[in-house]
Amino acid sequence: MIITEDFKKVIKCDAIDNRTNTLHIWKNDEVNVVILEQIIRSGEWSKLEYIDGFFAAVYNTPDKVYLFCDRLGIYPLFYCTKENAVYASPRIPDILGETQSSLNHSFEGILSLLIFGHHIADETIFTDIKRCNGGETIIINKDGKIEKKIEWRKKYIYQDKTSINPDDLCELFIENVRKMIPADGQILLSLSGGFDSRAVLAALLECLESNRIQTITFGGKGTYDFRIAKLVANKAGVKNLTFPITEKVFRDSFLRQRAGDYSFSYPVFSTQPQEMLNYFSEELSKGNTSFWGVGGDAITGSHLRPSDISLQTCKNSEELARLLIAKRCYLPLTVVSNITKLDENEIVEIIGHLIDRAHQSQYDKLWQFLDSWDIFVRGRMEIIAILPFYLQLWRCPHLGRDYFREMSTQCFENKIGQNAYKRMISSRFKFLFSLPTRRLRGRALVDGKVRSLCWVTQWRIAKLKKSMAKIAGLNIDGVGRNYGRELKFLNSTEGQKSLYHVMETLLRKKILRADSNNILHVAQKNNRISRIFFTLAYGLDK
């Protein structure tokens, strides 16, 4: 078997001169390629569940093509067939460039993006390009037809009651972090003012000396993340480097590049500071490793509400779709129906079909359906918008196999309000969680005390400034990303010109079917709508 690794390559598989078995793989460096190769040779796909790390792969044989990615589908893999050849890549723009063809848009992919701000199952905004779901292997014959889909990810069965105490759960998390630490090099940790990255930092401190850890924070000076991260880093005795959010998010070249990086499956205005990513690239090229606290919110029940335990049973996928739209929508159903001129019932039916294809309707209780959605669908897409996939040296401790399975399947009482998670981090990591947190509005998780009178004063001043900025149309989040400036930009001469061009593209493609003046007015007042419009237009304007 020939094994190749190329993060920027599109794999083309066809019957011409293909006499050898070749494995093409994109991955982070946790993945054991030797074990992966053994599993592929044996055809025992269910054993992929036990592979550490994240990957996407194409296994090309003289007879068939096998496509698969990691158990959670964190590492994206897209594919299409053309003239009996299979094209596959982690990025849709690379497939478009290789095939040199004009593809038809997919209304189901467009609707899921409008309704939820991300895709659901295997759909994309193109009819002929699909995404490989996590935990499945797709087998394609040499005629370019899908022969079979093998689901190998184990069903996640929720626990009926507490099965592990906070100390043991924390020990599992620490052991998970310990296994991810390389023997040499610095550990770069993206540190915010929330729970998840702080938990990773606390676990790292139990496994190695503090002089091997450097924390990285993005956010403007005086923002919540900036101030809290500095406090935490000082308490932990580790270095902290801060990168501000820059005003580059409205440049056409930047937006097009970012939309392509997301494969047109996530709102284009969701940004990271490029300077920080450049720093990570430089440091990782020296053999250092980055750790990310992503996924902690998704697996610990942060989106559940007390009333979710009482939700009535849904009889079919369309009822699940209505529940999901009511609970997890990005844009209201009425708005999407108005701008696309599709009947609401028709939209619900389409979303129901996608839920079936996502294999997310297998849970007995509706709160479990919602929670698994937050983990395997929404949570996965949010992670994809954060992680630097083009770099191999990255780790996600909250998604490590053993800890993930234990935490993600906790009972409702432990999930609601993140109870199990909060007990875990406050029992073992008290020294760091006695400091303020952004999520608790400046209060500490342990004892619930605020930092000091000075801290309270500064916090209230920052909150007042945020409220005044919101009134002025400059809504600012905790790290200083000024989302309100999107609206200011969209109402400027340059912004209106850009938005008008975007709308013309979508009207020409017959994606938007309402009156153009009405759509323009709505988009200028709703930056969520404009984000999706830009994302769609950059993908379809070829």
Domains within the chain, CATH numbers bracketed? 2-151 (3.60.20.10), 166-300+377-449 (3.40.50.620), 312-364 (no CATH), 486-540 (no CATH)
Q: Which two tokens stand for residue 365?
A: 């209780």
Let me know: does 24 contact 6? Beta carbons within 8 Å.
yes
Q: Which two tokens stand for residue 336?
A: 């999407």
| 444 DSSP β-pair partners | 436
The pLDDT value given to residue 272: 60
Let me know: does 195 contact 435? Beta carbons within 8 Å.
no
The pLDDT value given to residue 123: 95
Let me know: does 272 contact 278? Beta carbons within 8 Å.
no
Interatomic CA distance for residues 269 and 37, integer angstroms: 39
The pLDDT value given to residue 249: 57
The pLDDT value given to residue 467: 61
- Name residues whose C-beta falls within 8 Å of residue 488's C-beta, 6 or more positions apart in sequence: 473, 474, 495
Q: Which two tokens stand for residue 62?
A: 């003289």
CB atoms within 10 A of CB 224: 26
The pLDDT value given to residue 497: 87
Q: Which two tokens stand for residue 295?
A: 């996924």
Ranges of residues in the chain whose predicted pLDDT is under 50: 478, 483
Let me know: does 192 contact 292? Beta carbons within 8 Å.
no
Let me know: does 266 contact 384? Beta carbons within 8 Å.
yes
The pLDDT value given to residue 216: 93
The pLDDT value given to residue 480: 52
pTM: 0.90
CA nearest to 136, candidates 357, 374, 299, 296:
357
CA nearest to 302, candidates 417, 445, 194, 379:
417
- Name residues whose C-beta falls within 8 Å of residue 419's C-beta, 6 or more positions apart in sequence: 301, 413
CA torsion sign for 139, 142, 144, 147 is negative
Q: Name the amino acid, one letter, at 319.
A: E
CB atoms within 10 A of CB 237: 11
